[in-house]
Structure 1
Amino acid sequence: MSAPRRILVYGVYGSGKSTLAARLADQLGLPWYPVDDLLWQPGWVEVPVDEQRRRIEEICRRDRWIIDGAYHGWRDVPLARADLVVGLDYPRWCSFGRLLRRTVRRVVTGEVICNGNRESLGSVLSRDSILLWHVTAFGRARRRMRAWQADPSGPSVVLLRSPADLDVWLTGLSGPV
């Protein structure tokens, strides 16, 4: 397979989408557009969905990109343009464990994430907790990735079932485009 030029990295919260997108950007020399930076304003204020869609459309019109997620209001946009979808289809225990470790680290260290936002103990314990989002979204994300893979009219889909599978796949991927 020649190196893809437009890549959607997809998976449930905590699966490692952003980490993989950064690795792919380095390995393939493609620009990476972190989705969280496009969707969240300071103070965890969500960008309106129509503006999210406009931003994603602008990126996806380009010839080269990596984005690390696809959400309900604009999921169709990257799917229509992607050369490749990389689905992180890890077991729940793996992605939830990663998310829990990352969330605890961020709360303890006060790490700044998208647009100056930080996770807090209050956000983790709220009804909008990313940990709860993971629990409720896991099955849907998994079914969605598998449906994309089964759809011959869509982009190529690589489903990776473990971090070890990811490492093997990355080893075989072509260099900069």
Structure 2
Amino acid sequence: MKKIAIVGCGGAGKSTLARQLSEILHLPVIHLDKEFWQPGWKMRTKEEEQKIVEKIATQNEWIIDGNYQDTMPIRFEAADTIIFLDFPTLLCLRRVVKRFFKYRGTTRPDMTEGCPEKLDWEFVSWIIGYRHSYRPIVFKRIEQYGAHCQILIFRKPAQVALFLTDLEKSSSI
């Protein structure tokens, strides 16, 4: 595993998993939220996003976390591993609320400085609609662009924990 793309609903734990994998595998982490958002919650253009991901994808090693379905084809074609955190909606909502209180008034480490943590209806409704609207798109993109690589779909945090434990054991041998 040298090029890992991590996707999943907001609050699923993509950034946390990316950091954990980085510690075990010694790979650089790229948080797309940090790359795509500019201070003041201003989003880059789709063209800028494409160029950023195209440049990152050519690197020899990386862990990229984030959704951004328009750039999934680039990441998935370049990846050797795709990890989909396919967790229940209520779990993701609970984690987002917990994250909000943890980072309220500050910028979390995987976000651009100048984008303090917020919790608004737009984000909550996106999470609520994720399984119905976005999840099928993720599966379609995996099918279209990920046939050449290892696909890991985790539906429970315990599965992720076991995966990390096994990976840590095998990488220390």
Q: Over aligned residues, Cα RMSD in angstroms?
A: 2.0
- The TM-score normalised by the length of structure 1 is 0.84
For residue 69 of structure 1, what is the aligned residue in structure 2?
66
In the alignment, what sits opposite 1:157? 151
**Does the residue aligned with 2:87 lie in a helix, a strand or coil?**
coil
Q: Could you tell me which residue of structure 1 aligns to residue 117 of structure 2? A: 119
Q: Name 2:160's counterpart in structure 1.
A: 166
Unaligned runs of 5+ in 2: none
Aligned residues: 166
Q: Is the 8 A contact 1:60 1:81 kept in 2?
A: yes
Instruction: Identify if the C-alpha distance between structure 1 residues 150 and 34 changes in structure 2 by more than 3 Å, giving closer, same or farther.
Output: closer
1:39 counterpart letter in structure 2: F
Matched, 1:50 2:43: no
Structure 1 pair 28–135 and aligned structure 2 pair: CA distance change class (3 A): same
Which residue type is aligned with residue 64 of structure 1? E
Q: Kindly indicate whether residue 89 of structure 2 is the aligned counterpart of residue 92 of structure 1.
A: yes
Shift of 1:143: 2.5
2:69 aligned counterpart, secondary structure: coil
Residue 66 of structure 1: SS of its match in structure 2? strand
| TM-score, normalised by the number of residues in structure 2 | 0.86
Deviation, 1:65, is 0.4
Moved more, 12-21 or 133-142: 133-142
Runs of 4 or more above 3 Å deviation: 144-152
Task: Give, as a single letter, the amino acid of the residue that structure 2 aligns with 1:142.
Answer: R
In percent, how many aligned pairs have the same letter? 28
Which digits, 9 at most, give the CA deviation of each residue in 1:131-162, with x for residues without a partner? 12211223334324444666673422111111
What SS does structure 1 have at the residue aligned with 2:100?
A: helix
